[in-house]
Amino acid sequence: MRNLLLLAIFCLGALPRAEAQDKPALALTETRVETRPDGFGGEMSLVTGVVFNHGADAYRQITVVVEAYDADDALIGEGFGFLVDACGTALLDYALLPGDVQAFSAPFELFADGAQSSMHVSVEAEAIAPEWPPLMESPAVRLIARDEVVMLEWLDEETLIYGVGCEDAVFTELAWWRYDIGSHALTEIDHPAAAKVTAEMIERSDAALITQSGEQKPDLFYGSHMTFPPNARRIVYQNDLHTVFSAEPDGSFKRLIHDRLHQHSLRGFIWAREPGVFLAYYFGSYGEPAHYFTADVDGRMLMGRLEDLAPSLTAPGPAEDGLAAVVGWRRGGVSGYYLQYAFGGSELLFEAELPGNNYPAPIMAGDVIYVMRPVEGAPTLQCFNRRTRDLRTVTALPLQLTREARAWAWLSPGGTRLALAMNGPAGGVWWVDAGGSCTV
Protein backbone atom coordinates (compact mmCIF):
# COMPACT_ATOMS: atom_id res chain seq x y z
CA MET A 1 0.00 0.00 0.00
CA ARG A 2 1.39 3.41 -0.96
CA ASN A 3 0.67 6.31 1.35
CA LEU A 4 0.68 9.94 0.22
CA LEU A 5 2.32 11.87 3.04
CA LEU A 6 2.15 15.68 3.03
CA LEU A 7 5.58 16.84 4.13
CA ALA A 8 5.65 20.60 3.78
CA ILE A 9 4.17 23.65 2.12
CA PHE A 10 6.26 26.74 1.72
CA CYS A 11 5.94 29.95 -0.25
CA LEU A 12 8.43 32.19 -1.95
CA GLY A 13 7.95 35.76 -0.78
CA ALA A 14 5.08 34.96 1.60
CA LEU A 15 4.37 32.87 4.66
CA PRO A 16 2.96 29.37 4.05
CA ARG A 17 -0.74 28.74 4.52
CA ALA A 18 -1.59 26.59 7.53
CA GLU A 19 -3.49 23.37 6.94
CA ALA A 20 -5.07 21.08 9.50
CA GLN A 21 -3.58 17.63 9.24
CA ASP A 22 -2.29 14.77 11.30
CA LYS A 23 1.39 14.93 12.04
CA PRO A 24 3.11 12.92 9.24
CA ALA A 25 5.63 10.19 9.96
CA LEU A 26 8.05 11.79 7.49
CA ALA A 27 9.14 15.39 7.86
CA LEU A 28 11.19 17.78 5.77
CA THR A 29 14.04 19.88 7.12
CA GLU A 30 16.57 22.20 5.49
CA THR A 31 14.28 22.55 2.45
CA ARG A 32 15.43 25.08 -0.15
CA VAL A 33 15.25 25.90 -3.86
CA GLU A 34 18.51 25.79 -5.82
CA THR A 35 19.76 26.17 -9.38
CA ARG A 36 22.55 24.02 -10.80
CA PRO A 37 24.17 23.48 -14.23
CA ASP A 38 22.17 20.98 -16.27
CA GLY A 39 25.04 19.57 -18.34
CA PHE A 40 23.82 21.26 -21.53
CA GLY A 41 25.12 24.76 -20.87
CA GLY A 42 21.98 25.88 -19.02
CA GLU A 43 20.60 25.66 -15.49
CA MET A 44 18.04 23.47 -13.78
CA SER A 45 15.87 24.27 -10.76
CA LEU A 46 15.45 21.80 -7.95
CA VAL A 47 14.24 21.48 -4.39
CA THR A 48 16.71 19.92 -1.95
CA GLY A 49 16.50 19.06 1.71
CA VAL A 50 16.43 16.22 4.22
CA VAL A 51 13.71 13.67 4.98
CA PHE A 52 13.43 12.63 8.64
CA ASN A 53 11.49 9.50 9.59
CA HIS A 54 10.13 9.94 13.11
CA GLY A 55 7.47 7.24 12.73
CA ALA A 56 7.46 3.57 13.71
CA ASP A 57 7.54 2.16 10.15
CA ALA A 58 10.28 2.09 7.56
CA TYR A 59 9.58 3.67 4.16
CA ARG A 60 10.77 2.63 0.72
CA GLN A 61 10.06 3.70 -2.89
CA ILE A 62 10.16 7.28 -1.67
CA THR A 63 9.23 9.88 -4.31
CA VAL A 64 9.27 13.62 -3.62
CA VAL A 65 6.67 15.60 -5.62
CA VAL A 66 7.07 19.35 -6.31
CA GLU A 67 4.25 21.63 -7.47
CA ALA A 68 4.74 25.35 -8.21
CA TYR A 69 1.82 27.84 -8.15
CA ASP A 70 1.33 31.44 -9.20
CA ALA A 71 -0.42 34.12 -7.11
CA ASP A 72 -3.84 32.82 -8.23
CA ASP A 73 -3.00 29.28 -7.06
CA ALA A 74 -2.78 28.06 -10.66
CA LEU A 75 -0.33 25.19 -11.23
CA ILE A 76 2.56 26.50 -13.36
CA GLY A 77 5.28 23.92 -12.75
CA GLU A 78 6.04 20.51 -11.32
CA GLY A 79 8.69 17.85 -10.89
CA PHE A 80 9.72 14.92 -8.76
CA GLY A 81 12.81 13.44 -7.17
CA PHE A 82 14.25 10.85 -4.81
CA LEU A 83 16.43 10.34 -1.80
CA VAL A 84 20.08 10.82 -2.77
CA ASP A 85 23.52 10.08 -1.36
CA ALA A 86 26.32 12.62 -0.87
CA CYS A 87 27.16 12.46 -4.60
CA GLY A 88 23.55 13.18 -5.61
CA THR A 89 22.94 9.61 -6.82
CA ALA A 90 19.33 8.48 -6.41
CA LEU A 91 18.72 5.79 -3.76
CA LEU A 92 15.94 3.91 -5.50
CA ASP A 93 16.02 0.73 -3.41
CA TYR A 94 16.73 2.33 -0.05
CA ALA A 95 14.42 1.90 2.96
CA LEU A 96 14.42 4.82 5.42
CA LEU A 97 14.35 3.35 8.92
CA PRO A 98 12.68 4.97 11.95
CA GLY A 99 14.89 7.71 13.34
CA ASP A 100 16.97 8.00 10.16
CA VAL A 101 17.47 11.06 7.97
CA GLN A 102 18.47 11.21 4.32
CA ALA A 103 18.94 13.98 1.76
CA PHE A 104 16.62 14.34 -1.23
CA SER A 105 16.82 16.17 -4.55
CA ALA A 106 13.79 16.96 -6.72
CA PRO A 107 14.25 18.80 -10.09
CA PHE A 108 11.24 20.77 -11.32
CA GLU A 109 10.33 22.83 -14.36
CA LEU A 110 7.92 25.72 -14.97
CA PHE A 111 5.66 24.92 -17.92
CA ALA A 112 3.34 27.98 -17.89
CA ASP A 113 3.79 31.73 -17.84
CA GLY A 114 3.40 33.59 -14.59
CA ALA A 115 5.44 34.51 -11.56
CA GLN A 116 5.99 31.67 -9.12
CA SER A 117 4.40 32.54 -5.76
CA SER A 118 4.36 29.33 -3.73
CA MET A 119 5.49 25.76 -3.83
CA HIS A 120 3.95 22.56 -2.48
CA VAL A 121 6.28 19.64 -1.70
CA SER A 122 4.90 16.21 -0.81
CA VAL A 123 6.14 12.65 -0.79
CA GLU A 124 4.84 9.24 -1.75
CA ALA A 125 6.26 6.33 0.17
CA GLU A 126 5.42 2.72 0.92
CA ALA A 127 5.32 1.87 4.64
CA ILE A 128 6.97 -1.43 5.54
CA ALA A 129 8.05 -3.21 8.70
CA PRO A 130 11.59 -2.07 9.58
CA GLU A 131 14.41 -4.57 9.19
CA TRP A 132 17.14 -3.44 11.52
CA PRO A 133 20.74 -4.21 10.49
CA PRO A 134 22.94 -5.83 13.11
CA LEU A 135 24.52 -3.17 15.31
CA MET A 136 28.05 -4.46 15.64
CA GLU A 137 30.09 -2.71 18.31
CA SER A 138 32.52 -4.29 20.71
CA PRO A 139 35.63 -3.34 22.69
CA ALA A 140 37.57 -3.93 19.45
CA VAL A 141 35.25 -1.93 17.16
CA ARG A 142 33.90 1.47 18.19
CA LEU A 143 31.60 3.75 16.21
CA ILE A 144 32.81 7.33 15.84
CA ALA A 145 30.07 8.84 13.67
CA ARG A 146 27.30 7.95 11.20
CA ASP A 147 28.21 9.94 8.10
CA GLU A 148 29.35 9.36 4.51
CA VAL A 149 33.05 9.32 5.37
CA VAL A 150 35.34 9.12 2.33
CA MET A 151 38.74 10.41 3.51
CA LEU A 152 40.71 10.06 6.72
CA GLU A 153 44.13 10.92 8.12
CA TRP A 154 45.74 9.77 11.35
CA LEU A 155 47.50 12.56 13.23
CA ASP A 156 48.85 10.18 15.89
CA GLU A 157 47.76 6.99 17.67
CA GLU A 158 44.98 8.79 19.52
CA THR A 159 43.81 11.39 17.01
CA LEU A 160 42.40 11.32 13.50
CA ILE A 161 40.60 13.66 11.12
CA TYR A 162 38.01 12.57 8.57
CA GLY A 163 36.13 14.07 5.62
CA VAL A 164 32.39 13.70 4.95
CA GLY A 165 30.86 14.05 1.50
CA CYS A 166 31.03 12.62 -2.02
CA GLU A 167 33.83 10.15 -2.72
CA ASP A 168 34.72 11.93 -6.00
CA ALA A 169 35.08 15.35 -4.33
CA VAL A 170 38.43 17.01 -3.82
CA PHE A 171 39.35 17.29 -0.14
CA THR A 172 38.53 21.00 0.09
CA GLU A 173 34.86 20.21 -0.71
CA LEU A 174 34.41 17.83 2.24
CA ALA A 175 33.23 18.62 5.78
CA TRP A 176 36.12 17.76 8.11
CA TRP A 177 36.04 16.55 11.72
CA ARG A 178 38.68 15.81 14.33
CA TYR A 179 38.23 12.86 16.69
CA ASP A 180 40.16 12.08 19.88
CA ILE A 181 39.95 8.40 20.85
CA GLY A 182 40.77 8.96 24.50
CA SER A 183 38.11 11.58 25.19
CA HIS A 184 35.75 10.67 22.30
CA ALA A 185 35.63 14.39 21.51
CA LEU A 186 34.43 15.37 18.02
CA THR A 187 35.30 18.83 16.68
CA GLU A 188 34.38 20.32 13.31
CA ILE A 189 37.51 21.71 11.63
CA ASP A 190 38.97 22.98 8.38
CA HIS A 191 41.42 20.59 6.78
CA PRO A 192 44.96 21.66 7.82
CA ALA A 193 45.98 22.10 4.16
CA ALA A 194 42.81 23.83 2.94
CA ALA A 195 44.26 27.33 3.29
CA LYS A 196 47.10 26.38 0.92
CA VAL A 197 44.66 25.82 -1.95
CA THR A 198 44.36 29.27 -3.50
CA ALA A 199 43.49 30.41 -7.01
CA GLU A 200 47.17 31.18 -7.58
CA MET A 201 48.25 27.75 -6.38
CA ILE A 202 45.71 25.99 -8.63
CA GLU A 203 46.77 28.06 -11.66
CA ARG A 204 50.47 27.45 -10.97
CA SER A 205 49.94 23.69 -10.75
CA ASP A 206 47.90 23.52 -14.01
CA ALA A 207 45.30 21.44 -12.16
CA ALA A 208 42.58 23.54 -13.85
CA LEU A 209 44.29 23.97 -17.23
CA ILE A 210 42.60 22.90 -20.48
CA THR A 211 45.61 21.23 -22.07
CA GLN A 212 44.61 21.70 -25.71
CA SER A 213 43.68 25.38 -25.49
CA GLY A 214 45.91 26.54 -22.65
CA GLU A 215 42.93 28.22 -20.96
CA GLN A 216 42.11 27.95 -17.27
CA LYS A 217 38.78 26.32 -16.33
CA PRO A 218 38.36 26.50 -12.54
CA ASP A 219 35.89 23.58 -12.40
CA LEU A 220 38.61 21.17 -13.55
CA PHE A 221 40.23 21.47 -10.12
CA TYR A 222 37.31 19.59 -8.56
CA GLY A 223 38.20 16.48 -10.58
CA SER A 224 41.92 16.69 -9.87
CA HIS A 225 41.93 14.43 -6.76
CA MET A 226 44.58 16.83 -5.42
CA THR A 227 46.08 15.31 -2.29
CA PHE A 228 48.42 16.63 0.39
CA PRO A 229 50.24 13.52 1.62
CA PRO A 230 50.26 12.83 5.37
CA ASN A 231 53.98 12.06 5.43
CA ALA A 232 55.66 14.07 2.65
CA ARG A 233 55.91 17.62 1.32
CA ARG A 234 54.98 17.47 -2.37
CA ILE A 235 51.35 17.21 -3.51
CA VAL A 236 49.91 14.76 -6.07
CA TYR A 237 47.02 15.34 -8.52
CA GLN A 238 45.79 14.72 -12.08
CA ASN A 239 45.04 17.18 -14.90
CA ASP A 240 42.25 17.23 -17.48
CA LEU A 241 43.88 14.38 -19.45
CA HIS A 242 44.24 12.34 -16.23
CA THR A 243 48.02 12.75 -16.35
CA VAL A 244 49.41 12.49 -12.82
CA PHE A 245 51.82 15.13 -11.51
CA SER A 246 53.47 16.07 -8.26
CA ALA A 247 54.33 19.63 -7.24
CA GLU A 248 55.45 21.77 -4.37
CA PRO A 249 52.64 22.82 -1.98
CA ASP A 250 52.37 26.17 -3.79
CA GLY A 251 51.90 24.41 -7.15
CA SER A 252 55.41 25.12 -8.44
CA PHE A 253 58.12 22.77 -9.74
CA LYS A 254 55.77 20.25 -11.34
CA ARG A 255 56.99 16.76 -12.15
CA LEU A 256 55.31 14.37 -14.55
CA ILE A 257 54.67 10.96 -12.96
CA HIS A 258 52.40 9.02 -15.34
CA ASP A 259 50.67 9.97 -18.60
CA ARG A 260 48.36 8.27 -21.16
CA LEU A 261 45.74 7.59 -18.51
CA HIS A 262 42.81 9.39 -20.17
CA GLN A 263 40.87 6.12 -20.62
CA HIS A 264 41.03 5.27 -16.92
CA SER A 265 38.96 6.61 -13.99
CA LEU A 266 41.06 7.55 -10.98
CA ARG A 267 39.49 6.35 -7.72
CA GLY A 268 42.14 7.73 -5.40
CA PHE A 269 45.65 7.66 -3.99
CA ILE A 270 46.66 5.23 -1.24
CA TRP A 271 49.67 6.35 0.77
CA ALA A 272 52.18 3.65 1.74
CA ARG A 273 53.96 3.50 5.08
CA GLU A 274 57.20 5.00 3.71
CA PRO A 275 57.11 8.81 3.28
CA GLY A 276 56.03 10.04 -0.13
CA VAL A 277 55.22 6.61 -1.60
CA PHE A 278 51.73 6.10 -3.03
CA LEU A 279 49.56 3.80 -5.14
CA ALA A 280 47.09 5.29 -7.64
CA TYR A 281 44.22 2.98 -8.57
CA TYR A 282 41.59 3.08 -11.30
CA PHE A 283 38.28 1.42 -12.14
CA GLY A 284 34.99 2.53 -13.62
CA SER A 285 32.32 0.83 -11.54
CA TYR A 286 31.58 -2.05 -9.18
CA GLY A 287 32.83 -5.40 -10.47
CA GLU A 288 35.53 -4.03 -12.78
CA PRO A 289 39.19 -4.96 -12.23
CA ALA A 290 41.35 -2.27 -10.66
CA HIS A 291 44.36 -0.99 -12.62
CA TYR A 292 47.11 0.74 -10.67
CA PHE A 293 50.68 1.93 -10.45
CA THR A 294 53.01 2.91 -7.61
CA ALA A 295 55.33 5.91 -7.49
CA ASP A 296 56.71 8.54 -5.14
CA VAL A 297 56.22 12.27 -4.95
CA ASP A 298 59.66 12.90 -6.44
CA GLY A 299 58.43 11.40 -9.70
CA ARG A 300 59.95 7.92 -9.55
CA MET A 301 57.84 5.06 -10.94
CA LEU A 302 58.34 2.09 -8.60
CA MET A 303 56.58 -0.90 -10.18
CA GLY A 304 56.39 0.10 -13.83
CA ARG A 305 53.63 1.70 -15.84
CA LEU A 306 49.95 0.94 -15.28
CA GLU A 307 49.57 -0.86 -18.62
CA ASP A 308 52.39 -3.26 -17.73
CA LEU A 309 50.82 -4.44 -14.43
CA ALA A 310 48.14 -7.13 -14.27
CA PRO A 311 44.96 -5.57 -12.81
CA SER A 312 43.55 -6.69 -9.48
CA LEU A 313 40.03 -8.01 -8.84
CA THR A 314 40.17 -6.16 -5.52
CA ALA A 315 41.33 -2.68 -4.57
CA PRO A 316 45.16 -3.10 -4.51
CA GLY A 317 47.27 -2.15 -1.51
CA PRO A 318 50.92 -0.97 -1.72
CA ALA A 319 53.87 -2.50 0.10
CA GLU A 320 55.60 -0.12 2.49
CA ASP A 321 58.23 0.85 -0.10
CA GLY A 322 55.90 0.72 -3.12
CA LEU A 323 57.98 -1.98 -4.84
CA ALA A 324 55.16 -4.52 -4.54
CA ALA A 325 51.39 -4.53 -4.14
CA VAL A 326 48.86 -6.89 -2.55
CA VAL A 327 46.31 -7.82 -5.21
CA GLY A 328 43.41 -10.22 -5.67
CA TRP A 329 43.62 -12.70 -8.55
CA ARG A 330 42.06 -15.90 -9.79
CA ARG A 331 44.80 -17.94 -11.47
CA GLY A 332 44.94 -21.59 -12.37
CA GLY A 333 41.74 -22.21 -10.49
CA VAL A 334 43.15 -20.56 -7.34
CA SER A 335 41.40 -17.49 -5.93
CA GLY A 336 43.37 -15.53 -3.37
CA TYR A 337 45.67 -12.68 -2.44
CA TYR A 338 49.02 -12.36 -4.19
CA LEU A 339 52.02 -10.11 -3.77
CA GLN A 340 52.85 -8.63 -7.17
CA TYR A 341 56.45 -7.43 -7.44
CA ALA A 342 57.95 -4.64 -9.47
CA PHE A 343 58.52 -5.45 -13.15
CA GLY A 344 57.15 -9.01 -12.96
CA GLY A 345 56.94 -11.92 -10.56
CA SER A 346 54.36 -12.68 -7.91
CA GLU A 347 53.82 -14.71 -4.74
CA LEU A 348 50.61 -16.39 -3.56
CA LEU A 349 49.97 -15.25 -0.01
CA PHE A 350 46.87 -17.30 0.77
CA GLU A 351 43.77 -18.65 -0.90
CA ALA A 352 40.61 -16.71 -0.13
CA GLU A 353 37.15 -15.71 -1.26
CA LEU A 354 37.80 -12.32 -2.80
CA PRO A 355 35.72 -9.21 -2.10
CA GLY A 356 34.64 -6.73 -4.75
CA ASN A 357 36.50 -3.53 -5.50
CA ASN A 358 34.21 -1.73 -3.03
CA TYR A 359 36.00 -3.29 -0.04
CA PRO A 360 39.03 -1.57 1.52
CA ALA A 361 42.44 -2.24 0.00
CA PRO A 362 44.79 -4.54 1.94
CA ILE A 363 47.25 -2.78 4.24
CA MET A 364 50.86 -4.00 4.39
CA ALA A 365 52.98 -3.17 7.45
CA GLY A 366 56.21 -5.13 7.61
CA ASP A 367 55.46 -8.85 7.71
CA VAL A 368 51.80 -8.20 8.50
CA ILE A 369 49.08 -7.76 5.88
CA TYR A 370 45.57 -6.72 6.94
CA VAL A 371 42.73 -7.75 4.63
CA MET A 372 39.03 -6.95 4.83
CA ARG A 373 36.80 -9.41 3.01
CA PRO A 374 33.62 -11.49 3.38
CA VAL A 375 34.07 -14.66 5.43
CA GLU A 376 30.99 -16.90 5.27
CA GLY A 377 29.14 -13.85 3.97
CA ALA A 378 30.10 -11.53 6.84
CA PRO A 379 32.55 -8.61 6.40
CA THR A 380 35.63 -9.57 8.44
CA LEU A 381 39.06 -8.18 9.30
CA GLN A 382 41.87 -10.72 9.01
CA CYS A 383 45.63 -10.46 9.22
CA PHE A 384 48.27 -12.57 7.49
CA ASN A 385 51.85 -12.92 8.74
CA ARG A 386 54.22 -13.50 5.82
CA ARG A 387 56.91 -14.88 8.10
CA THR A 388 54.80 -17.49 9.87
CA ARG A 389 52.24 -17.91 7.00
CA ASP A 390 49.56 -17.62 9.67
CA LEU A 391 46.13 -16.19 8.76
CA ARG A 392 44.09 -14.97 11.72
CA THR A 393 40.60 -13.54 12.06
CA VAL A 394 40.61 -10.34 14.11
CA THR A 395 36.96 -9.29 14.24
CA ALA A 396 33.71 -8.95 12.32
CA LEU A 397 33.21 -5.53 10.72
CA PRO A 398 30.08 -3.32 10.73
CA LEU A 399 30.02 -2.85 6.95
CA GLN A 400 26.76 -2.96 4.99
CA LEU A 401 28.22 -2.78 1.52
CA THR A 402 26.14 -2.65 -1.65
CA ARG A 403 27.12 -2.21 -5.28
CA GLU A 404 26.79 1.55 -4.75
CA ALA A 405 28.70 1.84 -1.46
CA ARG A 406 32.45 1.68 -0.85
CA ALA A 407 34.65 1.29 2.21
CA TRP A 408 38.21 2.34 3.05
CA ALA A 409 40.69 1.58 5.84
CA TRP A 410 43.78 3.35 7.22
CA LEU A 411 46.36 2.02 9.70
CA SER A 412 47.53 4.36 12.47
CA PRO A 413 51.20 5.48 12.44
CA GLY A 414 52.14 3.04 15.21
CA GLY A 415 50.14 0.20 13.71
CA THR A 416 47.91 -0.39 16.75
CA ARG A 417 44.60 0.78 15.29
CA LEU A 418 42.69 0.69 12.04
CA ALA A 419 40.22 3.37 11.01
CA LEU A 420 37.36 2.05 8.90
CA ALA A 421 35.00 4.22 6.86
CA MET A 422 32.08 3.71 4.49
CA ASN A 423 29.94 5.98 2.33
CA GLY A 424 26.28 5.64 1.32
CA PRO A 425 23.21 5.91 3.56
CA ALA A 426 24.59 3.28 5.96
CA GLY A 427 27.97 5.01 6.05
CA GLY A 428 30.07 5.80 9.07
CA VAL A 429 33.53 5.79 10.56
CA TRP A 430 34.86 3.37 13.19
CA TRP A 431 38.17 2.65 14.84
CA VAL A 432 39.29 -0.94 15.27
CA ASP A 433 41.81 -2.08 17.86
CA ALA A 434 44.23 -4.19 15.80
CA GLY A 435 47.30 -4.07 18.02
CA GLY A 436 49.02 -7.39 18.65
CA SER A 437 46.61 -9.37 16.49
CA CYS A 438 49.20 -10.57 14.00
CA THR A 439 52.65 -9.69 15.33
CA VAL A 440 53.90 -13.14 16.31
pLDDT digits (tens, 9 = 90+) for 298-321: 999 999 999 999 999 999 999 999
Average pLDDT over residues 233-238: 97
Res 7: pLDDT: 40
Average pLDDT over residues 109-114: 81
User: Quick check: 258 pLDDT over 90?
Assistant: yes
With beta carbons less than 8 A apart as the criterion, state whether 336 and 326 touch.
Answer: no
To the nearest whole number, what is the mean pLDDT of the chain?
Answer: 90
Res 76: pLDDT: 87
Least confident among 120-124, 193-197, 236-240, 243-247 = 120-124
With beta carbons less than 8 A apart as the criterion, state whether 26 and 7 touch.
Answer: yes
Average pLDDT over residues 203-208: 96
Res 18: pLDDT: 32
pLDDT tens per residue, range 323-362? 999 999 999 888 999 999 997 889 999 999 999 999 999 9
Res 365: pLDDT: 92
Res 435: pLDDT: 67
pLDDT above 70 covers a percentage of the chain that reads 93
How far apart, in whole angstroms, are the C-alpha atoms of residue 220 and residue 242? 11
Helix (H), strand (E), coil (C) string for the chain: CEEEEEEEEEECCCCCCCCCCCCCCEEEEEEEEEEEECCCCCEEEEEEEEEEECCCCEEEEEEEEEEEECCCCCEEEEEEEEEECCCCCECCCCCECCCCEEEEEEEEEECCCCCCCEEEEEEEEEEECCCCCCCCCECCEEEEECCCEEEEEEEECCEEEEEECCCCCCHHHCEEEEEECCCCEEEEECCCCHHHCCHHHHHHHCCCECCCCCCECHHHHHHCCCECCCCCCCEEEECCCCCEEEECCCCCCCEEEECCCCCCCEEEEEECCCCCEEEEEECCCCCCCEEEEEEECCCCECCCCHHHCCCECCCCEECCCCCEEEEEEEECCEEEEEEEECCCCEEEEEECCCCCCCCCCCEEECCEEEEEEEECCEEEEEEEECCCCEEEEEEECCCCCCCCCCEEEEECCCCCEEEEEECCCCCEEEEEECCCCCCC
pTM of the predicted model, to two decimals? 0.88
Average pLDDT over residues 70-95: 90
**HSE (side-chain half, CA atoms, 13 Å) at 284:** 5
Res 250: pLDDT: 97
User: Quick check: 229 pLDDT over 80?
Assistant: yes
User: Quick check: 51 pLDDT over 90?
Assistant: yes
* pLDDT level of residue 24 (50, 70, 90 thresholds): confident
Res 22: pLDDT: 55
Can you list the domains of the chain with their CATH numbers? 2-128 (2.60.40), 141-433 (2.130.10)
Average pLDDT over residues 151-167: 96
Least confident among 37-41, 240-244, 342-346, 358-362 = 37-41
Res 439: pLDDT: 61
Contacts of 41 (CB under 8 A, 6+ apart): none
